[in-house]
Amino acid sequence: MVIRRIIRENGREYIRSYIFAAFCLVLVAATTAFMAWIMEAVINEAFAKRNADLIWLICGSILAAFVIRGAASYGQAVALAVIGNNLVARYQQRIIDHLMSLGMGYYTDARSAQIAAQVSQNVTGIRDVMNLTITSFARDLLTLIALIGVMLAKDPVLSMIVLVVAPPVLIALRYISKRLRSATREAIDLNSRVLGAMQEAVQGISIVKAFTMESQLSARTSHLIKAAEERSNRIARLTERTSPLTETVAGLAISGVIAYAAFRSIYGDELPGAFFAFITALLLAYDPARRLARLQINLERAVVNARMIYEILDEVPTQGDEPGATDIEISRGEVEFRGVDFAYGDGEKVLDDVSFVAEAGKTTAIVGPSGAGKSTLINLVPRFYDPAAGQVLIDGIDVASTTKQSVRRQIAYVTQQPWLFEGSIRDNLRYARPEATDTEIEDAARLAYAHDFISALPMGYDTPLGENGANLSGGQRQRISIARALVRNAPVLLLDEATSALDNESEAAVQKALDGAMKNRTVLVIAHRLSTIAKSDRIVVMQGGKVVETGSHADLSRTRGGLYARLQAYGDTELPAAETAGTDANTAKGEQP
């Protein structure tokens, strides 16, 4: 049960604060009951009997009760707010830590914008469950019990009239809460999708504008917004059904009590003090009774929120380290693929019996048509994924037997689309190696041909970046990404089409930076333009998830009918469909490239 789990995980951590809050809430309940109790003395002694000696004592006790109640209300409110804020902060940190531990497969299936929206919407559910539980039991329930005690003491018969109407109300509320559960979950899911769609539209605004997608996205999002609105309206109707129910029942109870007491006072010649104390207790009991009546509904909504947070926290990392995995220390940096097979989920093979060696300190280029498995192959080196069969070895050690963190600490990675984070340029460069000095950061920027344009910025290396470096050009972002890889100072460098998205001028600058970054390192590079990898020590040509050719640029260029030669004829790795089909047919016939 979610409530039990939340209490088990957090109760001990905040036990002292909850005891203090509960003590304050007990004082609130006691002083509220005291207000009702003393009304008999106020009416009988002050107004009916006109006993002047007791007036000051009565007034002083009422003032003291109000002061105590005010201080207790302040104390419990602040204590619960502090606990609640800390709970939200702890779970936010816990979620981000857990998300960081999940493998790449999780993010392949999930949309990042929707994850962010789901977390932001639901993380307060943990806080609400705890606060609703403590306030309902320590304040509302105790207050109601104390006031019922006053009512029973003042007039047991009237109390029975009131209490007999409670069971039908509870049955009706239980029915409403069951219907509310599914509606709440649907609403949260739809709101997450709305926020996710908005976030994606903002992040991709340049594409939206370029392809005049405004009306299409607006229409698609409008459908989600309308569905979310309808679910929210349904929740409102279900939730607020309690109001006419409780108000009607309360009206019947109070009017019946007043009628009975009035006739008894008129014809029975009884002092009205006990009745006024009873009716005061009854009126004061209305608010805590109403809150308790709505507790199951409010708690149900909070539990749905909390349950969706636990769905993320309970997501088991599918790619953990093996038992007994050891840290790897890369010295030479030789990378070998030995009989590697790989498929995403239950899909078809993306890599099929791939074997080759990327020699230490040399550059190995991987080329081939789209869908050949090049990026997948690169992603196996830092263990973003593990092969279904075969081995990936670094310096002769199977990386599957090592810890992911130790492998990744010694690998630098530059992607086609560089990602820059919130903060300054210096912050982004230091992410590669937190202990790097400012001098090392600037030296890396010089090697990446980034120092000059960074220095020309108004705040230099301390210039804050827009979202994903939106205030920089594509070439500048890529050079900062390369500088970040150089700050890493890793023996293995992975380059995944690092220049394919750039114009010629930017590509020339980035290529200079890459030439500097590749010196004295083992480099695995995927290139869109074959001209950028002509100087590679070795070229591996892939097609359909298999290695079909290996050799130097000169050797492969001279191979008549070879795939590399055909790719070279078009100037890049994108062959027309007819050409690719022809090559596939030749390969199928057993012709060697």
- pLDDT at position 593 is 31
In a domain? residue 516: no
Clarify whether residues 405 and 444 are in a common domain.
Answer: no
Mean pLDDT of 62-89: 88
The count of structural domains within the chain is 3
Mean pLDDT of 280-294: 77
Task: Report the b/e string of 570-586 with b at 16+ CB within 10 A.
Answer: eebbebeeebbeebeeb
Residue at token pair 């108000």: 247
Clarify whether residues 165 and 78 are in a common domain.
Answer: yes
CATH assignment at residue 484: 3.40.50.300
Clarify whether residues 149 and 230 are in a common domain.
Answer: yes
Clarify whether residues 158 and 15 are in a common domain.
Answer: yes
Clarify whether residues 93 and 70 are in a common domain.
Answer: yes
Give the containing element (helix H, strand E) for 118. helix 112-122
Residue 534 CA to chain centroid, in angstroms?
A: 44
Clarify whether residues 364 and 305 are in a common domain.
Answer: no
* In contact, 528 and 573? CB cutoff 8 Å: yes
In a domain? residue 538: yes
Is the pLDDT reported for residue 337 higher than 90?
yes
- pLDDT at position 580 is 44
CA-nearest of 461, 450, 525, 541 to 492 is 525
In a domain? residue 515: no
Clarify whether residues 483 and 392 are in a common domain.
Answer: no
Is the pLDDT reported for residue 589 higher than 50?
no
Lowest mean pLDDT among 127-136, 170-179, 231-240: 170-179
Higher pLDDT, 4 or 70: 70
Is the pLDDT reported for residue 248 higher than 80?
no
- pLDDT at position 576 is 42
| Final residue of a structural domain among 249, 279, 313 | 313
- pLDDT at position 242 is 66
Is the pLDDT reported for residue 17 higher than 50?
yes
Query: How large a percentage of the chain has pLDDT more than 70?
Result: 82
- pLDDT at position 312 is 84
- pLDDT at position 462 is 92
CATH assignment at residue 229: 1.20.1560.10
- pLDDT at position 260 is 72
| Final residue of a structural domain among 262, 283, 313 | 313
Highest mean pLDDT among 88-97, 239-248, 494-503: 88-97
In a domain? residue 350: yes
Tokens matching residue 167: 């069971």
Is the pLDDT reported for residue 575 higher than 80?
no
State phi, psi for 550 to the nearest 5 degrees: -145, 150
- pLDDT at position 588 is 34
Write out the residue range of the structural domain in which residue 121 sits. Answer: 2-313
Mean pLDDT of 446-464: 89
- pLDDT at position 236 is 77
Listing DSSP states for 51-90 in one string gives -GGGHHHHHHHHHHHHHHHHHHHHHHHHHHHHHHHHHHHH
Mean pLDDT of 391-397: 91
In a domain? residue 514: no
Clarify whether residues 31 and 94 are in a common domain.
Answer: yes
Clarify whether residues 275 and 352 are in a common domain.
Answer: no
pLDDT in tens, 369-391: 888 888 889 889 988 888 889 99
Clarify whether residues 482 and 525 are in a common domain.
Answer: no
Give the containing element (helix H, strand E) for 175. helix 166-203
Clarify whether residues 71 and 213 are in a common domain.
Answer: yes
Is the pLDDT reported for residue 338 higher than 90?
yes
Query: How large a percentage of the chain has pLDDT more than 90?
Result: 8
Task: Report the b/e string of 59-90 with b at 16+ CB within 10 A.
Answer: eeebeebeebbeebbebbeebbeebbeebbeb
Clarify whether residues 467 and 373 are in a common domain.
Answer: no
In a domain? residue 332: yes
In a domain? residue 536: yes
Instruction: Give the mean pLDDT of the chain.
Output: 79
Mean pLDDT of 39-53: 71
State the burial class of residue 514 (Cβ atoms within 10 Å of its Cβ: 0-12, 13-18, 19+).
Answer: buried
Higher pLDDT, 450 or 201: 450
- pLDDT at position 339 is 92
| Final residue of a structural domain among 296, 313, 330 | 313
In a domain? residue 334: yes
